[in-house]
Structure 1
Amino acid sequence: MVAAAVALFASRAYDGISVDDLVTHLGVHRNSLYKTFGSKRGLYLAALRWYLEHQVRPLLHQVAANPDPTRALYDRFLADDATPDLDLLLIAMIERAPVDAEVADEVTSVLREFDDATAAGVGGDATAPLTRAASAAILGLRLRARIGEHADGAGPALFDRIDARP
C-alpha cells in the first residue's frame, strides 16, 4: 500500500490527492487508512520515507560506488531513458518541504546524500560549490524532463564542462 501511495503522490502531489482518491486508488477502507497512518499526512510521510529508503538511496549508493560515477550520474538521472525515480523527491522539495518541517528534514537528509553521490562524480567534496551546482543542475534537468522537456544535450554539456575544469 505504501509503495502504491508513492506512485500516486509522485504523479499528482500531496495537494492534488484527496483521501477519497487514496481510498479508491489504494483499495483500502477509509477507516483502515486512518487507523494505520492517522491521516493523509501520515500516509504521505510513510510513503516518502519508504521511497527515499528503497528507491532514492539505493540509486545514490549505486552512483557513488560506480567506477565511473560521472557516467553513472548521467545515465541514472539525465539520459533520455533515465529513471524517473526522483519525481517524488522533486515534488516533496517544491510542494511540502517549505511548509512541513518533517518533510524538509527528510528531503534535506537525502539531498546531502545526493551531494555525496555527485561529489564522487565531479571529483570534489559534498560541500564544494561545484558539487552543489552540479546537484542542482541534475535536479533541475530532471524537473524539466518531468514536464516533457528533454535535456537536448544539457546533461552531456554539463559533464563535459565538469570534466574540462582546470
Structure 2
Amino acid sequence: MVRSTFIQLSSTREKIIDKLLTSKDLMKAVAYDTADYLEQSIVVDPKQYIYKRIFPHRCIPGENEDVLKTVVSISLENIQPVQNQYKAGILCFNVYTHRQLCQSNSELLRTDYIISTIDKLFARNQDLGLGRLEFYKMDVLDINSNYYGDSIAYRMLDFA
C-alpha cells in the first residue's frame, strides 16, 4: 500500500504555486497584457490570479474566450510509487498566451520569458521540498487559432 497518498501531491502543488506567485517578474508577465510588462508596477496581490491566470491543474484557454490573457498551469504527471511513497513523476508547466499578447519588450516572445523564468525558479532549486528536479523536455503547445504556448517539464526525483 502506498503511504502519503494524495495529500502529499496536493502539498506539492501548493508549494509549486506559491513559488510561482513569489516571482515578481513572472507575475508581471502573467498579469499585465502589454509588451512592456516588466516596466509595470509589482503585482500587489498575486494570489488573486490563482484560478484566473495561474492554475494548479492543466488549463487550456478556450478559443472563444472574451478576455485576452496569459495562463500558466501546472500538472503532475506519471506519478509513481517508490518504496511505498510517491517519489517520482513529471512536473509540467504549460504556458499559453493569446497571440496578440505574444510580443514582449524583454524577449522575442512572452512565453519565452515566462519559460526561462520558470526554469530559473525550479531547475536547480531544492529548497521547495520537491527533491531533485531534472530537465525532461520542452514542447510547443499550438492549441487553437487564438492561443499559442510552450511547455517545460522536469522529472521529480525523490520528492516524498
TM-score computed with the length of structure 2 as normaliser? 0.27
Structure showing greater Rg? 1
Q: Which has the higher helix share?
A: 1
TM-score computed with the length of structure 1 as normaliser? 0.26
